[in-house]
Structure 1
Amino acid sequence: MPLFLILLTTVEDTLLQSVSQVGGVCKLSTESSLRRCRTPDGKICSGRGKCDCGICVCEATDPGKFYGPRCDCHDWVCSTYNGKTCNDRGYCDCGMCECDEGWFGDVCQFQEDCNLPSKKSKELCKNTQGVVCSNRGTCHCGSCMCNNKDSKGLVTGHYCECDDSECLDEDNGEVCGGHGQCYCGNCYCAAGWHGDKCEFQCDISPWESKRRCTSPDGKICSNRGTCVCGECNCHDVDPSGDWGDIHGDTCECDERNCHATYDRYTDDFCSGHGQCNCGRCDCKEGWAGKKCEHPLSCSLSLESSMKKCRGTSNLSCFGRGQCQCGQCTCYPPGDSRVHGKNCECDDRQCENISGEVCGGHGYCSCGRCICEEGWFGKLCQFPRSCDLSEDQSKELCETSDNLMCSGKGSCHCGQCICRPQDWWVSGEYCECDDRECDKHDGLICTGNGLCNCGNCECWDGWMGNACEIWVGAEY
């Protein structure tokens, strides 16, 4: 009987909907119109649209935005970190994944039948600290099933490392205020919304917002900031003084370009011999060069001086020092690891993140590892002999989607050797793209750190998104 009543009500609503408007005039009373648009919690069109004669007109109907009879459907929760909908293993129906046969999970991330050995499965579930599912979930076929006993789904991430409770809006209790998607504790807002919890709405269109934020070179906020309602919030390094080091209406000014070596503790712009204007040095009389580093009293011309400092590189002093009158001063001074006439030798390149030189299996010669017998690799990390069978080795090199070294390398003794011709490919399974690491002065991580899976890991004494800031001892 209840099912019959539900069906009858549905048919009645459908019939009334079709006759609610005749000739463009609404035949429903205001009360009846709002009743049709009201959600069970009493909100009109879920607070995301306007009620027009019993029909909700949602704020946006573009893909990924709110839709449905009462603007209560959205597909953000169906998307994954790789940008796929339901991992391409199903389809999204009003924010819920309908998975293909053989798959399950919120985003169809789990396989019902597993062919992975238990040991391999657990290895794939370990986070960077070697903890299985961050101790906040269970491992199933190389994927983590996070513990969410409260049914709110706030423990997320590939290794259950994320706490999405940080995305909850204190006012309405919704994730990202109901106007965005939470990825690992950070809100990514829908078009027209902004704020840490997507709590503020723009009064201009997304197109107009983008137009206002576009820099003269055609990039959004010059790729140095985020666009919020037509205004750029620059990714500043040191926002002290009247403005920060990165400023301008479209973040087009980068004062870091005026430093020979960027030091947040000094105002040594333009080598102390000029004025920095929107990232460009205007030199005092008697000085020349991109950073006013060349004294005109020098017997060499600016071009000759730069040529002597470049050596075989396209960068002055290999990007690791300051050129003055044809002579390179390597920085930071006192660090014997950076040396050579043109600072061409950087022995820091022989170290891994923990500071070990050539993996303990060789020695460093001008930034290159000379490996001991029986070892090879950029950091002498691969043994030439192997006590694993071919099958055992390949098993350790397979990713969770059964790809060998992500399809970007070869497997040797259970370790992936990424293709050397693709210098940007790295990671335990060749899954990382080092081109995503920040640059400064044309160098990835400014040459002062290692690119670790898209993020710069800076050496001691350096910090910043691109390891461009010297915070070590004064020099």
Structure 2
Amino acid sequence: MHTEALVQSILVPLFLILLTTVEDTLLQSVSQVGGVCKFSSESSLRRCRTPDGKICSGRGKCDCGVCICEATDPGKFYGPRCDCHDWVCSTYNGKTCNDRGYCDCGMCECDEGWFGDACQFQEECNLPSRKSKELCKNPEGVVCSNKGTCHCGSCMCNNKDNRGLVTGRFCECDDSECLDEDTGEVCGGHGQCYCGNCYCAAGWHGDKCEFQCDISPWESKRRCKAPDGKTCSNRGTCVCGECNCHDVDPSGDWGDIHGNTCECDERTCLATYDRYTDDYCTGHGQCNCGTCDCKEGWAGKKCEHPLSCSLSLESSMKKCQGTSNLPCFGRGQCQCGKCTCYPPGDSRVTGKNCECDDRQCENISGEICGGYGYCSCGRCICEEGWFGKLCQFQRSCDLSEVQSKEICETSDGVMCSGKGSCHCGQCICRPQDWWVSGEYCECDDRECDKHDGLICTGNGLCNCGNCECWDGWMGNACEIWEGTEY
């Protein structure tokens, strides 16, 4: 039975494509007599026009009432009006119709026993209700991100407009962000949307795949290559041979990252604690393409060291570093061997070298040590019966080992994503892999933004690849202090 289904999944799409090709050939042979088209220009275009008024869906040329579809990468458009493409059947795991069916002009025809737009749902379910619900929770513990319903451990996303814009394993993706404002098409009809981001076909660029490039991808990449050999210095995107630098300045008045190949990063001229103020080079120099030119009487990478100080620059930095690689642990300003801790007035950051950061004891909601311990210089001392970095695990357990492991399994049956151990239905991620986190150890915190070597700039927590900032801080890397005093 499985072999028959496999053969069917391969042969049927090939048959449909062949049939379409034969139909187009027959139509063209009928419409042409002696190599001359018998249709008028208007009649020919009418046969190629889609209901929304586009000729061959904007993806091909009309030849005597027959659409000649353009080749694209990935895949190829086909159909009477170039309106079919099988990439829309690809799911988040890269499989076509989850390998449980075949794609027919962008629609999944599912094998027996499966249903859904991507053949992701099984008609018969043997999972207990609690287990099913647990498998539908996103990393924040919300079932189907409150944008769908749970069926046998899989989320059925709400799509009232029947456009299928809410997607993702946990309905966490809103593909309406991929809609072209002018045409209403997903990625302008020239790409595929994955979780709100457009991945464009070859020759197309832009956030919504709205720009077509007239140079080869190789030539485009060559023009965008920076002196260090990296494309746009890894600080921008290459569009038709030109670098669009990531402007991280929230005001939008001036891009901190600039240059023909985004080689200039003026963020390096700002101290860790006061990034995005106008106080470049600690107010004692001029920033030129990411390097500080200090005024007379000042020295240091960021012009932070007064030459009037009795200590040398090296001695001053060494006294401020303590056991860290950064002066004042990246949480303050070092001047003449002494640290001034930031943010100003925050009693949670203390110590000679600002080494104690009691904010590290807080969870996303601001609770200290989960309510089951106290904080000592940035580390939780847990009450008896509790353990974990934030005292989040209880030593006693009323679940059997089998029940516990069932809860810790991911939807594909892997315990804690293979990156941790299970305790009372909770995953304890491997401590040696500091970057692993999440309810099922499925997150990689190395994806969180960082600066000066500090994840979330030390001003927030990394939550499944995204920075959650503490009060008073904002920005992708929690690098912007919202206060007014410095």
Q: In 1, distance between residues paired with 2:85 and 2:115? A: 20
Cα deviations across residues 217-267 of structure 1 (Å, max 9, x unaligned)?
333333333333333333223265873222222222221111113546731
Q: In 1, distance between residues paired with 2:352 and 2:140? A: 41
Give the secondary structure class of the aligned counterpart of 1:309. helix
Contact 1:321 1:329 in 2 (8 A): yes
1:6, distance to aligned residue in structure 2 (A): 15
Name the CA shift for 1:284/1:177 in 2 (closer, same or farther; >3 Å): same
In structure 1, which of residues 418, 421, 436 is the aligned counterpart of residue 432 of structure 2? 421
Contact 1:399 1:406 in 2 (8 A): yes
1:129, distance to aligned residue in structure 2 (A): 7.0
1:446, distance to aligned residue in structure 2 (A): 0.9
Q: In 2, distance between residues paired with 1:3 and 1:165? A: 32
Name the CA shift for 1:19/1:76 in 2 (closer, same or farther; >3 Å): same
In structure 1, which of residues 164, 182, 190 is the aligned counterpart of residue 193 of structure 2? 182
Name the CA shift for 1:206/1:54 in 2 (closer, same or farther; >3 Å): farther
Q: Higher mean Cα deviation, 458-467 or 191-200?
A: 191-200
Contact 1:261 1:470 in 2 (8 A): no
Q: In 2, distance between residues paired with 1:240 and 1:2? A: 51
Q: In 2, distance between residues paired with 1:217 and 1:431? A: 33
Q: Higher mean Cα deviation, 370-379 or 164-173?
A: 164-173
Contact 1:65 1:190 in 2 (8 A): no
1:50, distance to aligned residue in structure 2 (A): 3.4
Q: Which residue of 1 aligns with 2:183?
A: 172
Q: In 1, distance between residues paired with 2:68 and 2:223? A: 28
Name the CA shift for 1:305/1:168 in 2 (closer, same or farther; >3 Å): closer
Q: Which residue of 1 aligns with 2:94?
A: 83
Q: Which residue of 1 aligns with 2:6?
A: none
Name the CA shift for 1:82/1:365 in 2 (closer, same or farther; >3 Å): farther
In structure 1, which of residues 354, 374, 395 is the aligned counterpart of residue 406 of structure 2? 395
Contact 2:24 2:66 in 1 (8 A): no
Q: Higher mean Cα deviation, 156-165 or 341-350?
A: 156-165
Cα deviations across residues 191-224 of structure 1 (Å, max 9, x unaligned)?
3334454333333333333333333333333333
Name the CA shift for 1:3/1:336 in 2 (closer, same or farther; >3 Å): closer
Name the CA shift for 1:364/1:150 in 2 (closer, same or farther; >3 Å): closer
Q: Which residue of 2 aligns with 1:43?
A: 54
Contact 2:272 2:330 in 1 (8 A): no
Report sequence identity in percent: 92
Name the CA shift for 1:10/1:474 in 2 (closer, same or farther; >3 Å): closer
1:423, distance to aligned residue in structure 2 (A): 0.8
Using structure 1 for the length normalisation, give the TM-score: 0.86
Q: Higher mean Cα deviation, 298-307 or 213-222?
A: 213-222
Contact 1:238 1:264 in 2 (8 A): no
- The 5 Å alignment of 1:280-291 reads 280-291=291-302
Q: In 1, distance between residues paired with 2:127 and 2:17? A: 46
Contact 1:37 1:44 in 2 (8 A): yes
1:375, distance to aligned residue in structure 2 (A): 0.8
Cα deviations across residues 58-82 of structure 1 (Å, max 9, x unaligned)?
4443324535675433233223334
Give the secondary structure class of the aligned counterpart of 2:272. coil
Q: Higher mean Cα deviation, 25-34 or 335-344?
A: 25-34
Q: Which residue of 2 aligns with 1:69?
A: 80
Q: Which residue of 1 aligns with 2:314?
A: 303
Contact 2:286 2:294 in 1 (8 A): yes
1:365, distance to aligned residue in structure 2 (A): 1.6
Q: Which residue of 2 aligns with 1:232?
A: 243
Name the CA shift for 1:28/1:331 in 2 (closer, same or farther; >3 Å): same
In structure 2, which of residues 390, 407, 413 is the aligned counterpart of residue 379 of structure 1? 390
- Structure 2 segments unaligned to the other structure (5+ residues): 1-11
Q: Which residue of 2 aligns with 1:355?
A: 366
Q: In 1, distance between residues paired with 2:423 and 2:451? A: 35
Contact 1:405 1:430 in 2 (8 A): yes
Q: Higher mean Cα deviation, 411-420 or 116-125?
A: 116-125
Q: Higher mean Cα deviation, 396-405 or 426-435?
A: 396-405
1:429, distance to aligned residue in structure 2 (A): 0.7
Contact 1:264 1:471 in 2 (8 A): no
Name the CA shift for 1:341/1:171 in 2 (closer, same or farther; >3 Å): closer
Q: Which residue of 2 aligns with 1:152?
A: 163
* RMSD (Å) for aligned C-alpha atoms: 4.2
Q: Higher mean Cα deviation, 9-18 or 198-207?
A: 9-18
Q: In 1, distance between residues paired with 2:81 and 2:88? A: 18
Name the CA shift for 1:218/1:177 in 2 (closer, same or farther; >3 Å): same
1:425, distance to aligned residue in structure 2 (A): 0.4
Give the secondary structure class of the aligned counterpart of 1:262. helix
1:358, distance to aligned residue in structure 2 (A): 1.0
Contact 1:96 1:106 in 2 (8 A): yes
Contact 1:363 1:371 in 2 (8 A): yes
Name the CA shift for 1:6/1:447 in 2 (closer, same or farther; >3 Å): closer
1:136, distance to aligned residue in structure 2 (A): 4.5
Q: Higher mean Cα deviation, 101-110 or 394-403?
A: 101-110
1:28, distance to aligned residue in structure 2 (A): 11
Name the CA shift for 1:422/1:120 in 2 (closer, same or farther; >3 Å): same
Contact 2:73 2:201 in 1 (8 A): no
Q: Higher mean Cα deviation, 391-400 or 100-109?
A: 100-109
1:324, distance to aligned residue in structure 2 (A): 1.8
Q: In 2, distance between residues paired with 1:47 and 1:415? A: 51
Q: In 2, distance between residues paired with 1:357 and 1:451? A: 16
Contact 1:418 1:430 in 2 (8 A): yes
Q: Which residue of 1 aligns with 2:135?
A: 124
Give the secondary structure class of the aligned counterpart of 2:462. strand
Q: Higher mean Cα deviation, 127-136 or 111-120?
A: 127-136
Cα deviations across residues 276-318 of structure 1 (Å, max 9, x unaligned)?
0111111122221111111222222222222222222222222
